[in-house]
Amino acid sequence: MTVTLVTGATGQVGRRFVPRLLAQTRAGEQVRVLVRDAARGERFAELGAEVVTGDLRDEDVLGKAVAGADAVVNVAASFRGVPDEEARAVNRDAAVALGRAALVSGVRRFVQVSTGLVYGVGRGRPLTEDDESRPGGAMWGAYPESKAAAERELLALDGEMEVRIARLPFVYGDGDPHLAQSLRWAAHWAATQRLHMGHHADVAQGLLRLLHAPAVRGPVHNIADDAPVTAVELHQVNGAELPADLHTRTDPDPWLGIMSTERIRRDLGFRPLYPTVWSARDAGAL
């Protein structure tokens, strides 16, 4: 029996990823999810998952969760509105503890879900996986800082256990309220300021490719769609009125958060099911 453990299964990304993972399981494969609330794990059990209840920050729980697992997909994250200490405790400390527990247990592959925000400031071009993190920029804070630190420490474990990093864009779709929440920032942006996005179906596609591919070129892969969306378009797709002064503002960093997807496209055959937010809208997948 091949076992894949998924953490963060009840979050916005996890709750949409796990059913897609379960739908692709074959005979002899088992999906295990770690949840804090047993009641929230019931829907996954109904779909065929093994459910382990406990907190990611509890080392005893981690040992139980990774026991006998062959692969781990760490989707768990804490961000937006939580204290900085909690963000660091979950995104860095718990992620690294999970990685170490997985290594001790004999896990062969560890997929860490991270964020494109770890790049920090823009580079005047699409960001590539070989770019170092440069702290700073409008979106920098405890969340990307803690994710970047987790990446560094987990990659130090690579060798005995294969570590793969997935850097996500702004994720939306499948009823996720995230798209509407984008106006919290876009309402204060310049008209041409852009946000790189990715539909949940494409995030799941990218994670599944990283989980199953026998080999990859480099441990880090960006996952995103084909066309970053401007502040004007974010208002349009949300059916919101444009701020009166939107076109008078200046974009301070036009390449902030804009990622290259050449590596995952070339190496793993990734092609977005929803290349743009408009194609997702037209398909009724928002």
129-139 confidence digits (pLDDT tens)? 999 999 998 89
Q: Which residues pair with 229 in a beta bridge?
A: 195
CATH, residue 148: 3.40.50.720
pTM for the model: 0.96
Number of domains in the chain: 1
Q: Is residue 245 part of a domain?
A: no
Answer yes or no: is 80 within a domain: yes
The answer as to whether 12 is a domain residue is: yes
Long-range contacts of 17-26 (CB under 8 A, 24+ apart): 17/73, 17/75, 17/200, 17/203, 17/204, 17/207, 18/44, 18/47, 18/49, 19/44, 19/47, 20/201, 20/204, 20/208, 21/73, 21/204, 21/208, 21/211, 22/47, 22/48, 22/49, 24/208
The whole domain housing 164 covers 2-172+197-225+260-273
Query: Mean of the pLDDT values across residues 222-230?
Result: 98
**Who's near 156: CB < 8 A, 6+ residues apart?**
none
**What is the structure's pLDDT at 74?**
98
Decide if 111 contacts 207 (C-beta within 8 A): yes
pLDDT in tens, 160-205: 899 999 999 999 999 999 999 999 999 999 999 999 999 999 999 9
Q: What is the pLDDT of residue 77?
A: 94
48 falls within a domain = yes
